Amino acid sequence: MKTTFLTICCLLSFRHTSFGETVNGYLMPAKCKHDDPKTHTAKCALICKSTGFGVVTADGSHLPFTPAGNEKAIALLESTAKTEDLQVSVQGTRQGDLLAVESITWK
């Protein structure tokens, strides 16, 4: 009985815990998520920066960032000379359908 109770308590405590993960894909403004990422440029992404950012993964799904992740994406775009390749590696934790970004790096 004690073992069952302890197991249930542990499962409940970890139920809402998010674990860190790395997502590889293309950094994309949400407004442009249905277009081919390879045709986009950093300039296009900066023009669309008010729409929010996310990563288009290898399977074509779009994982949007939290507001803090959007700010990090904009800072990365503004501080780089890259203009065509938006391929990135993102480290963070999922929060529902959003990704809380810890770091974004060019691939």
Q: What would the pLDDT profile of 12-30 be if each residue is shown by its tens digit?
A: 444 445 578 999 998 888 7
Domain count, the chain: 1
User: 10 in a domain, yes or no?
Assistant: no
Q: Are strands 20-29 and 53-57 parallel, antiparallel or unpaired?
A: antiparallel
Asked if residue 12 is part of any domain, the answer here is no
Give residue 53's domain range.
20-106
Question: Residue 72: inside a domain, yes or no?
Answer: yes
Instruction: With respect to residue 63, please indicate whether it lies within any of the assigned structural domains.
Output: yes
Q: Quick check: is 13 in a domain?
A: no
In a domain, 24, yes or no: yes
Residue with tokens 């994406």: 73
Distances (CA, A) of 74 to 13, 27, 54, 85, 95: 35, 10, 11, 15, 20
- CATH number assigned to the domain comprising residue 89: 2.40.50
Residue 14: per-residue pLDDT: 42
pLDDT of residue 69: 95
pLDDT at residue 7 is higher than 60: no
In a domain, 48, yes or no: yes
The predicted-structure confidence for 40-87, as pLDDT tens digits, reads as follows: 767 777 777 778 899 988 888 889 999 999 999 989 888 887 656 788
